[in-house]
């Protein structure tokens, strides 16, 4: 079945910052049986990417950006359970604590990554956004995490990823907790520079990277 038109309308709903329409289309896609991840990737994400470039060019302003982000989030909220329909009955691949670093409220990409990890068989504890560096470490211990996933969308908050690594090191946890970093401004080079164990540029690659880190390479 071709969902091209539906995905196009999803993209447009984000561009328009139309929260109701974005949510309505998410419901519609579920009733039509469209794969939730495709709806997110080929519909809503395309919209938010375009919003980002319009914002960058000064053709869209913050209030509109906020409305677009809200539209995107309302759709994600509806699609999340379907995205997370994990293969049941098998042992979890590993435990992941994920969040967006301190000072950074961008949580859309991190939420998609978390959902994809759940869908792929990981147990995931999502700490949300603007998470204090110390909290990542405390929660990693409490949750007995194999991986800590750190999202940063601002160049000014990327250093907080390094800070979490330092605290993990100080606590003697670096041997058993792997660190995976991501977010639009984050690069492989940055990951190497701060001593992270992995980097991925999108949610699909994040799953492969996480599998590699727990020794379940595909």
Catalog residues that contact ligand B12 under the rule CB under 6 A.
45, 48, 51-52, 55-56, 62, 65-66, 69, 73, 103-110, 112-113, 149-151, 153-156, 180-185, 200-203, 206
Burial of 187 (0-12, 13-18, 19+ CB in 10 A): middle
Least distance from C-beta 41 to ligand B12, angstroms? 8
Q: How many CA atoms lie within 13 A of 62 on its CB side?
A: 0
> Minimum distance between the CB of residue 91 and ligand B12, rounded to whole angstroms?
22
Distance CA 127, CA 111 (A): 10
Minimum distance of ligand B12 from residue 171's CB (angstroms) = 20
Q: What's the min distance (Å) between Cβ of 87 and ligand B12?
A: 21
Cβ closest to ligand B12, residue 81 vs residue 185:
185
Of residues 55 and 143, the one with the C-beta less far from ligand B12:
55
Q: What is d(CA 215, CA 218) in angstroms, rounded to the nearest whole number? A: 9
CB 178 within 8 A of CB 200: no
CB 69, min distance to ligand B12, A: 4
Tokens 């800590």 locate to 148
User: Considering just the CA atoms, what is the radius of gyration of the chain in Å?
Assistant: 17
Residue 118 Cβ vs ligand B12, minimum distance, rounded to whole Å: 14
Helix ranges, the chain (H):
4-15, 19-32, 36-38, 45-56, 62-83, 108-119, 133-143, 159-170, 188-194, 203-213
Structure tokens at 7: 């995905």
* Distance of alpha carbon 155 from alpha carbon 82, whole angstroms: 32
User: Which one, 8 or 50, has the nearer CB to ligand B12?
Assistant: 50
Nearer to ligand B12 (CB atom), residue 2 or residue 45 = 45
| Of residues 66 and 192, the one with the C-beta less far from ligand B12 | 66
The residue (of 89 and 190) whose beta carbon lies closer to ligand B12 is: 190
Residue with tokens 């907790």: 177
């Amino acid at each position: 079945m071709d969902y091209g038109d539906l995905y196009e309308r999803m993209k447009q709903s984000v561009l328009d910052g139309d929260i109701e329409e974005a949510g309505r289309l998410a419901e519609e896609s579920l009733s039509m049986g469209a794969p939730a991840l495709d709806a997110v990737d080929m519909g809503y994400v395309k919209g938010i990417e375009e919003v980002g470039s319009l914002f960058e060019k000064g053709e869209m302003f913050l209030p509109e950006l906020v409305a677009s982000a809200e539209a995107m989030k309302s759709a994600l909220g509806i699609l999340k359970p379907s995205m997370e329909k994990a293969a049941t009955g098998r042992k979890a691949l590993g435990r992941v604590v994920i969040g967006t670093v301190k000072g950074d409220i961008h949580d859309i990409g991190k939420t998609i990554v978390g959902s994809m990890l759940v869908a792929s068989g990981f147990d995931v504890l999502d700490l949300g956004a603007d998470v204090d560096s110390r909290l990542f470490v405390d929660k990693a211990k409490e949750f007995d995490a194999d991986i800590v996933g750190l999202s940063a969308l601002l160049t000014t908050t990327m250093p907080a990823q390094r800070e979490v690594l330092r605290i993990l090191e100080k606590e003697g946890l670096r041997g058993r907790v792997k660190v995976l970093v991501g977010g639009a401004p984050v690069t492989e080079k940055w990951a190497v520079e701060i001593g992270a164990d992995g980097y991925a540029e999108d949610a699909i690659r994040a799953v492969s990277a996480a599998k590699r880190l727990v020794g379940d390479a595909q």
